[in-house]
Chain A
Amino acid sequence: MMASALADPKLLLFIAGLIAATFVLSTSRSKPGVEGTVAVLNSSLLFATVGLASAVWTWIIHNQLVIGDASEFCTSEGIVQCGSVIGDPRYNNLFGVPWGVVGALAFTALLFLVLSIRMDVHAKWSETYTNYSWYAGLAGVPFLIYLIGVEAFAVHHICPFCTISHLSLLGFLGSVWLLRERRENKNWY
């Protein structure tokens, strides 16, 4: 069951996105100056985009589950599956708003911040926006811990698409941490 869930082409696409973002991030360390900064920003953009797409995907699954049919989008058996997590009415929303929508809004904000910096790395506000990105990403961590806790201790299932969103946020934070490091080390440009 776990193997079938992980062999989902959509999931593999998201995983490929995460791997690409991580690869771009890892190559940035060897690049000096603005070239490296742009590479880190590209990585941040990729993480935010994958996070946005996976969050929207979980919203699609949520909508399917509400009408009682998600078989074409996500398996509903085994430990690794979406049905028991996204379909659980006790935990699948934040004050009535599906977590997928919450995640999509959050990643939209992060995407805007890093896209702005990426479009003008020398702008005066780029440092401020880097800090905004860092703190906005950190704000998502308590929610991430809560949702992982729900998966592990309440519903006892792991939703792979939710996990992609969680990893995207962590990857995003890692990339923004490197951005701040470049700024502090005078290695921004």
Chain B
Amino acid sequence: MSRRRKISEPKGKDEDVRVIALLATLGVVTIVGLAAIIVSPPVKVGPLEGEIAPDFIEKAYSGAEWESFRLTDTYDERMTLVSFLDTDCPHCWDEGATLSNLHSTYNNDVQFITIAVQLSISGHDSSRDEIEAFRDKTNYEGCYSGSQNCIDRPGSAHSWTYVDDIDLSIAKDWDVPGTPFSIILDSNGEVVWNQAQSDNHPNEDVEQALARLVG
């Protein structure tokens, strides 16, 4: 009697190799990940003190045309004062004079950058023309919720860069609670003073902060 051999599909291994595969994969990833962290430690990016300020690329006005502007391209040996203003905000109206005074005092040690936002408040209707007029102090009816001519803004005309953040994209990344709002960065872009972190420096305003940090 002949015996017929049945051909069957090869059987898999008795043990479930998927656990071993998972452990092997995780092992490889852990080694690669640790190597990456050692070579280049991740840094915390954010607006809080000790973090690297979030970078951005937006259109900016420095007295001529609106041009592409990248924050990290501006870093030099100086500190950076980033101030968020809304051309329709009454407090920002007065902040214009404060910034003018600060600039005349600290211009050599601090670079100034203003981020022009448009808060979601009734009557706040900004535009690039209005931002230009606010910065340059030129004839434009529309500042201060449309009730003032920008030429009457307190302080002198500003000579530094104003960035268009009417869509609030930068303000969201920087957790801006309202305007005027200031953050000071060191020469590497690390946040060294955040107005919202008053617990770290009680009763200290931006002027006092600059006096302490710059000397």
Contact = CB atoms under 8 A, between A and B. Distances in A.
Contacts of B41: 63
Contact of A63 (B24, B42, B75): B42
Nearest to A64: B40
B188 A67 contact: yes
Interface residues of A, number: 33
B72 A68 contact: yes
B121 interface: no
Contacts of B214: none
A49 B29 CA distance: 10
Interface of B: 9-13, 17-18, 20-22, 24-25, 28-29, 32-33, 35-36, 39-43, 45, 52, 54-57, 72, 75, 188-189
A68 B75 contact: yes
At the interface, is chain B mostly helix, strand, loop or mixed? mixed
A112 interface: yes
Contacts of B32: 52-53, 56, 104
B9 A108 contact: no
Nearest to A67: B43
Contacts of A120: 12-13, 17
Contacts of A52: 28-29, 32
Interface string A115-132: 110011011111000000
